[in-house]
């Protein structure tokens, strides 16, 4: 077993393939099609999913229209209409192109506008860096705070400041007073979302009683996306306090100053906002897997599964916001939002590198009324491998700590520990491994598993700005694809710097970035090839056999 | 596979930012980390083996966050503790008020827990004596009143840090010895009240 595992080094495998042919699943369809049923797409787990099924913006849509998935006229229905041939897909896209000129123009314009903005933004960009590194509070009387790309405020329904992304909440409370006036028109509805556009800004309000969250954004993001980010911040606060406690506090005292209880958590919320701008996990509503040979992952998962304890509900092994393995109690499913909150918590503080942390945590989508206890520790001082053990019993620290020890011992005994560490050296693969010259980057999400895969963002997206710009383009396509009034399932966009393609079916979502030299025809061939490649590599790129207790 | 037993549970208490984590960091790893403040989330556990008069004692140290958020749950961290190091920042008088709060908690719920008051960041006073906001003699009187020991430490220079933990361990050993005399217990026998903490040695 061990020897077998060691052989599977990425570099040894020719043709950009990550896996030896004997590991591939012959029984799974090689060329997925739009008609592919959920659960058979590349990346779909063989024994069911680890996550709760999450739909894009599920929390933003009212309960009444939640079950109705709007269909575009371009989506095919029923087996007889299945688009199995490339000509048909290509016809589908060409039909779209007329309609999409508008979008392309509008997108280009926005990009151009953004580039112009960048010039006057630069002094403030460096300002932002100084804010993040230093502890000094910003002088709010300066105009600077208004020049930030996105402000986020959280306040209580009584108008008391709870959180502000930049500057001190105290000095901003007068501004907040103005905002409260704006919010008052929301009073009729309890969980309302509204937005206004002014001066090139989008102001988005999300009300989740007893809190009101406000974003003032200069980004290209849609209202839906901004509202979704605000909801994440709301859930972040709930994860620290529980929904029950949050409500009890404000029922007892309407003008309670919540900052007392949230003291020290600003770092976590700041980190969340920064992460949402960089990490596509949030946009995709899915978890990204660390690519590794399936044999090693399976061995790691079974070691993790064997180190169990009665009170354990979830065991999560991760490395820098990428999932390595997840074991869950049978019948218990994690929601991607809860997993993202855990990832964010861990990446927001280096304090977990010391000793073993044992902290109360609420997973709001799992159960917003109570706390779990999380045992958080790194496997070794100098690795990024972090183990999170979620327990129902706050008195169970030593039992849970023992599970970690058993897990580590078993890893070493089975000889997979080194292979695991090895896999961490190559946490990303390159888009060039797919073997499509014009392919620059892609994001592929398997809907049934709630997992996605994406290569490293590489040339020409070198700088942070360029990387965020690419993510911005994906965000834009995503928002077009999921627009609640008129969703699009196929989008092909040609721009001056790159061509992009989005393809959303009931089984998967695919966003691809090509060099601007390619044509639509080459893009379509490429997508077909890419899907085959993903299918071929799926057992490395995804967790196909998740374990349960 | 070898297990390691925790003999004495030690809990670090005190307001956020007084320097609890730095104290543990200095004692366990003999280092002082600079850089932006990293508040502790929940609590962190670390075991440290030390020797007292030829005998080895393993301290299981709980470094708590000190935030009000989980105050209601803080008992899980200090329950059954043999020693509590209640910290305050010598340059911040409000932190001493908070220290008194923890002393009260301990007196009410953990009678058998020894209290060690610890004034932190003494190096800041070496730079500028006017920074001292808590008088040594006032705290000494208070310490006598509550039967606590008093230390003033600096995690930055390491001053008095080893002395503090050494004292905690010595007191534990002598109390454990007294108890075993009284009750006629064998020191090597498992004490049902101590936790077992295992850690791997390869
Ligand atoms: N000058 C000085 N600074 C210290 C000392 N101990 C802690 N600090 C600083 O005080 C801040 C809070 O320390 P930390 O140990 O994280 O506090 P905790 O919240 O009580 O755990 C950090 O910025 C430390 O660098 C000390 O002995 N001397
Ligand atoms: Mg601390």
Residue B189 lies in a domain: no
- pLDDT at A293 (0 to 100): 94
For residues B45 and A356, is the Cβ–Cβ distance under 8 A? yes
What is the SS3 assignment for B56-89?
Answer: EEEEEEEEECCCHHHHHHCHHHHCCCCEEEEEEE
CB-neighbour burial class of residue A26 (10 A; exposed 0-12, middle 13-18, buried 19+): exposed
Residue B198 lies in a domain: no
Domains A287-426 and A431-541 fall in the same CATH topology: no
pLDDT at residue A27 in the model:
47
Show the tokens assigned to A115. Answer: 């580039």
A141-276 — its CATH code? 3.30.450.70
Of the listed ligands, the closest to the CA of B19 is: 1
Q: Do B69 and A241 touch (CB under 8 A)?
A: yes
Query: Are A416 and A253 spatial neighbours (Cβ–Cβ below 8 Å)?
Result: no
Q: Classify residue B61: in a domain, yes or no.
A: yes
Closest CA to B157 of B18, B7, B22: B22
Report pLDDT digits (tens) over A200-235.
Answer: 778 888 888 889 898 888 777 888 889 999 999 999
Nearest atom (ligand 1) to Cα of B14:
20
pLDDT digits (tens, 9 = 90+) for A311-331: 999 999 999 999 999 999 998
Question: B71: which chain A residues are within 8 Å (Cβ-Cβ)?
Answer: none
Interface of B with A (CB under 8 A): 1, 16, 21, 24-25, 36-46, 63, 65, 67-70, 73, 76, 195-200, 202
Distance from CA of A232 to the nearest CA of B (A): 20
Residue nearest to atom 26 of ligand 1 (CA): B121
CATH number of the domain where residue B36 is located: 3.40.50.300
Q: Render B1-53 in DSSP notation, one character per residue.
A: --EEE--EEEEEE--TTSSHHHHHHHHHH-----SS-----SEEEEEEEEEET
Distance CA A376, CA A397 (A): 11
Let me know how long chain A is.
549
Q: Give the Cα separation of A181 and B65 in Å (integer).
A: 37
Give the mean pLDDT of B141-164: 97
Residue A328's closest CA among A239, A450, A462? A450
Q: Which ligand is nearest to the CA of B125?
A: 1
Contact A390, A357 (CB under 8 A): no
Domain A287-426: give its CATH code.
Answer: 3.30.450.30
Is the separation of the CB atoms in A448 and A38 below 8 Å? yes
Task: Give percent of chain A above pLDDT 90.
Answer: 45
Q: How far apart are CA A128 and CA A112, in angstroms?
A: 23
Residue B135: pLDDT band (50, 70, 90) is: very high
Spell out the domain ranges in chain A.
141-276, 287-426, 431-541
Question: Is A349 in contact with B43 (Cβ distance < 8 A)?
Answer: no
Nearest partner of A23 among A544, A547, A531, judged by Cα: A544
Distance separating alpha carbons of residues B63 and A358, to the nearest angstrom = 10
Note the pLDDT tens digit of each residue in A356-401: 999 999 999 999 999 999 999 999 888 899 999 999 999 999 999 9
Which ligand has an atom closest to residue B44 CA? 2
CA–CA gap between residue B79 and residue A191 (Å, rounded): 41
In sequence order, the β-bridge partners of residue A293 are: none
Q: What is the pLDDT of residue B196?
A: 45
Q: How far apart are CA A437 and CA A440, in angstroms?
A: 8
Q: What is the pLDDT of residues B153-192, one digit of tens each?
A: 999 999 999 999 999 999 999 887 666 555 544 444 444 4
Alpha helices in A65-85 (DSSP H): none
3-class DSSP assignment, residue A43: coil
Cα–Cα–Cα angle for A185, A188, A189, nearest 5°?
A: 105
Least confident interval from A304-318, A410-424, A487-501:
A487-501
Give me the domain span that covers residue B92: 8-184
- Residue A493 to residue A103: CA distance in whole angstroms: 8
Residue ranges of E strands in A95-166: 150-156, 161-164
Residue among A261, A351, A355 whose CB faces B69 most closely: A261
Q: What is the pLDDT of residues A88-108, one digit of tens each?
A: 434 444 433 323 333 333 444
Please tell me the distance from the alpha carbon of residue B96 to that of residue B15, in angstroms, as a whole number.
Answer: 8
pTM over 0.80: yes
Share of chain A above pLDDT 70, in %: 71
Q: Which atom of ligand 1 is nearest to the CA of B154?
A: 27
Cα B159 to its chain centre, rounded Å, is: 16
A275 Cα to chain B: minimum distance (Å): 18
Number of domains in chain B: 1
Task: Please say whether the dihedral angle defined by the alpha carbons of residues B149, B154, B160 and B163, taken in this order, is positive or negative.
Answer: positive
- For atom 25 of ligand 1, the residue with the nearest CA is B34
Q: Are B111 and B34 in contact (CB under 8 A)?
A: no
* Residue A471, strand partner residues: none
Q: What would the DSSP string read from start to end of A456-524?
A: PP-TT--SHHHHHHHHHHHHHHHHHHT-SSS--SEEEEE-SS-EEEEEE-SSEEEEEEE-TT--HHHHH
Q: Which positions in chain B touch A135 (Cβ < 8 Å)?
A: 36-37
Q: Check A345 against B41: CB less than 8 A apart.
A: yes
Which CATH code is given to the segment(s) A431-541? 3.40.1840.10
Percentage, residues of chain B above pLDDT 90: 70
């Amino acid at each position: 077993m061990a020897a077998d595992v060691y052989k599977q080094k990425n570099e040894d495998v020719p043709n950009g393939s990550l896996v030896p042919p004997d590991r591939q699943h012959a029984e799974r369809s090689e060329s997925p099609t739009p008609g592919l049923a959920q659960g058979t797409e590349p990346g779909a787990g063989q024994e069911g999913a680890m996550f709760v099924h999450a739909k894009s913006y599920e929390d933003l849509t009212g309960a009444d229209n939640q079950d109705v998935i709007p269909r575009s006229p371009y989506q095919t229905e029923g087996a007889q209409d299945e688009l199995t041939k490339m000509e048909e897909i290509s016809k589908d896209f060409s039909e779209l192109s007329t309609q999409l000129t508008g979008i392309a123009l509008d997108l280009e314009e926005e990009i151009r506008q953004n580039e112009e903005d960048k010039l006057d933004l630069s002094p403030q960009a460096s300002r932002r860096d100084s804010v993040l590194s230093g502890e000094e509070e910003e002088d709010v009387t300066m105009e600077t705070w208004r020049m930030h790309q996105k402000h986020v405020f959280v306040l209580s329904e009584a108008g008391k400041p709870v959180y502000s992304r930049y500057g001190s909440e105290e000095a901003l409370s007068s501004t907040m007073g103005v905002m409260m006036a704006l919010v008052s028109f929301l009073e009729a509805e309890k969980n309302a979302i509204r937005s206004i556009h002014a001066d090139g800004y989008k102001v988005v309000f999300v009300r989740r009683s007893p809190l009101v969250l406000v974003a003032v954004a200069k980004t290209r993001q849609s209202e839906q996306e901004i509202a979704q980010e605000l909801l994440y911040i709301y859930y972040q606060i709930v994860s620290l306090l529980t929904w029950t406690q949050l409500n009890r506090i404000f029922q007892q005292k309407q003008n309670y100053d919540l900052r007392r209880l949230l003291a020290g958590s600003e770092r976590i919320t700041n980190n969340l906002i920064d992460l949402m701008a960089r990490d596509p996990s949030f946009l995709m509503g899915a978890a990204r897997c660390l690519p590794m040979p399936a044999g090693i992952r399976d061995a790691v998962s079974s070691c993790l599964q064997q180190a169990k304890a009665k009170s354990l509900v979830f065991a999560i092994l991760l490395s820098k916001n990428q999932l390595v393995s997840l074991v869950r109690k049978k019948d218990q499913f994690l929601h991607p939002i809860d997993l993202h909150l855990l990832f964010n918590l861990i990446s927001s503080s280096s304090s977990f590198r010391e000793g073993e942390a044992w902290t109360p945590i609420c997973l709001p989508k799992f159960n917003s009324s109570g706390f779990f206890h999380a045992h958080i520790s790194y496997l070794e001082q100098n690795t990024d491998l972090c183990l999170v053990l979620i327990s129902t019993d706050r008195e169970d620290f030593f039992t849970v700590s023992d599970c970690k020890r058993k897990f580590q011992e078993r890893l070493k005994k089975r000889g997979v520990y080194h292979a695991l560490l090895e896999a961490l050296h190559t946490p990303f693969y390159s888009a060039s491994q797919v073997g499509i010259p014009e392919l620059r980057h892609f994001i592929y999400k398997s809907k049934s598993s709630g997992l996605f895969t994406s290569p490293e963002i590489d040339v020409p997206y070198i700088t942070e700005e360029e990387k965020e710009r690419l993510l911005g383009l994906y965000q834009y396509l995503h928002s077009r694809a999921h627009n609640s009034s008129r969703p699009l399932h196929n989008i092909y966009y040609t721009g001056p710097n790159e061509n992009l393609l989005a393809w959303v079916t009931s089984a998967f979502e695919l966003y691809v970035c090509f060099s601007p030299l390619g044509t639509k025809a080459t893009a379509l061939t490429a997508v077909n090839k890419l899907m085959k490649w993903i299918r071929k590599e799926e057992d490395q790129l995804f967790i196909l056999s998740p374990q349960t207790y | 596979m070898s297990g390691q037993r925790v003999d004495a549970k030690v809990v670090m208490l005190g307001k956020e930012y007084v320097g609890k984590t730095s104290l543990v960091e200095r004692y366990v790893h003999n280092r002082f980390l600079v850089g932006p403040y990293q508040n502790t989330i929940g609590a962190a556990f670390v075991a440290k083996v030390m020797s007292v008069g030829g005998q080895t004692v393993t301290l299981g140290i709980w470094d708590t966050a000190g935030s009000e958020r989980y105050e209601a749950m803080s008992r899980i961290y200090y329950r059954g503790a043999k020693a509590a190091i209640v910290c305050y920042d010598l340059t911040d008088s409000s932190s001493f008020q908070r220290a008194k709060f923890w002393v009260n908690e301990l007196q009410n719920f953990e009678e058998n827990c020894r209290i060690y008051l610890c004034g932190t960041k003494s190096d800041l006073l070496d730079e500028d004596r006017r920074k001292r906001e808590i008088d040594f003699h006032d705290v000494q009187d208070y310490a006598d009143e509550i039967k606590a020991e008093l230390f003033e430490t600096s995690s930055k220079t390491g001053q008095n840090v080893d002395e503090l933990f050494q004292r905690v361990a010595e007191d534990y050993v002598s109390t454990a010895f007294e108890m075993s005399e009284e009750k006629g217990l064998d020191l090597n026998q498992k004490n049902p009240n101590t936790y077992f903490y295992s850690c791997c040695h390869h």
